Structure 1
Amino acid sequence: MAGIKKTYTPEFKKKVVRLVLEEGRQMKSVNQEYNLGEGSLRKWIREYSEECESNPELNNEKDLMAENLRLRKELAESKKENDFLKKAAAFFAKELD
């Protein structure tokens, strides 16, 4: 019995590609969440990258996604460091009492 081939809208494809490129989600989790085939997302990301190379407007969008991802990671790291410093300050303040 052959599987039914699903078709996805360009908007849907762009949405899931964004989840990976801009938000930093793992392809495996996106595939599971949206019940996608193994290679679908990887193919869509490759197609988007190829399209960005030929279209300067999309290339700028891809660069913005990469920058957004970098800043999200940097913010998450800063929050972790800040939480650690708060705990350390509370610990040492308790020691002084």
Structure 2
Amino acid sequence: MSKTYSNEMKLLATKRVLSEGERVADVAKDLEIGQSTLYAWIKAAKQDDSSNGSLVVKSLKQRLEEVSKERDILIKAASIFAKELY
């Protein structure tokens, strides 16, 4: 039985290895994932690095959607409070 990990988890793990230079064994132990799993994520991240299907792009698009929704809520709240002031 295999576990399913979020894109954020995959991004965090691969970033720690590829960008920050941490050892695969240390990152895998810290995040409680198998080293072979982390190596597979790293391989996929390197292959998908320039395509739209990369983990980074997916994660950023998801975060952009969340932030856009939060912004819309804040704009509506601000307009309600502004109406109450006048």
The normalised TM-score by structure 2 is 0.56
The counterpart of 1:11, out of the listed 8, 14, 19, is: 8
Q: What residue number does 2:31 align with?
A: 34
Once the two structures are superposed, the pairs formed by residues 45-64 of structure 1 within 5 Å of their partners are 45-53=42-50, 55=51
Which 4+ residue blocks in structure 1 deviate beyond 4 angstroms?
A: none
> Aligned-residue CA RMSD in angstroms?
2.0
Unaligned runs of 5+ in 1: 59-97
In percent, how many aligned pairs have the same letter? 26
Q: Give the structure with higher Rg (CA).
A: 1
- Contact kept? 2:28, 2:34, Cα under 8 Å: yes
How far did 1:35 drift?
1.0
The letter of the residue matching 1:11 is: E
How many pairs align? Answer: 54
